[in-house]
């Protein structure tokens, strides 16, 4: 059994397949497993006032992925309220956060599954920065990696 899915011969297709796999099959299951085990009173705990809780990080990951992939790639209106992700403090329970993560990442996976690999070099504006679609996807994958490590 291979750690990585079988790679297609085309590099753009391989990039999309690997990005989807990492998000869907590695990071999201790790976060969901953590949510199942985390005591409810620990979900919004912050070690200090400038740190984020697990709940904040999940809201942040969902906001980031929806903005950078769903809105950006599919040309949807960006409705992200980034500061609210960090200001939240107990508004959602673990089950609600798990549902939000699943729904968001299903939308992300669908956007990536339906993306023509030739569009990876198209440019988009995200948070005022011009970048290629490939760069936006790469950012979301590495961003998920970092915060998954913090959560788990």
Q: What is the pLDDT of residues 42-76, one digit of tens each?
A: 999 999 999 999 999 999 999 999 999 999 988 88
Q: What is the pLDDT of residue 75?
A: 84
Q: What's domain 11-151's architecture?
A: Up-down Bundle (1.20)
Domain boundaries, given as residue ranges, for the chain:
11-151
Instruction: Please give the Cα distance from 2 to 12 (Å, whole number).
Output: 20
Q: What is the mean pLDDT of the chain?
A: 93
Tell which wins on pLDDT, 87 or 77.
87
pTM of the model as a whole: 0.91
**Separation in Å, CA 20 to CA 50, 73, 149:** 32, 14, 18
Confidence class of residue 4 from pLDDT cuts 50, 70 and 90?
low
Output the six-digit token pair for 30.
């790790």
Percentage of the chain surpassing pLDDT 70?
Answer: 95
Question: What are the residues whose beta carbons fall under 8 Å from the beta carbon of 77, sequence distance 6 or more?
Answer: 71
């Amino acid at each position: 059994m291979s750690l990585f899915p079988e790679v297609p011969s085309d590099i753009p297709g391989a990039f999309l397949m690997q990005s989807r796999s990492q998000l869907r099959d590695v990071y999201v299951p790790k976060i969901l497993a953590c949510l199942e085990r985390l005591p409810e009173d620990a979900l919004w705990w912050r070690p200090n006032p400038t740190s984020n809780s697990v709940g904040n990080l999940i809201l942040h990951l969902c906001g980031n992925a929806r903005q950078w992939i769903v809105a950006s790639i599919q040309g949807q209106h960006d409705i992200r309220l980034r500061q609210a992700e960090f200001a939240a403090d107990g508004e959602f329970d673990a089950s609600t956060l798990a549902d939000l993560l699943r729904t968001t990442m299903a939308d992300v996976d669908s956007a990536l599954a339906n993306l023509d690999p030739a569009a990876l070099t198209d440019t988009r504006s995200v948070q005022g920065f011009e970048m290629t679609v490939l760069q936006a996807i790469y950012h979301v994958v590495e961003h998920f990696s970092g915060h998954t490590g913090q959560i788990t």
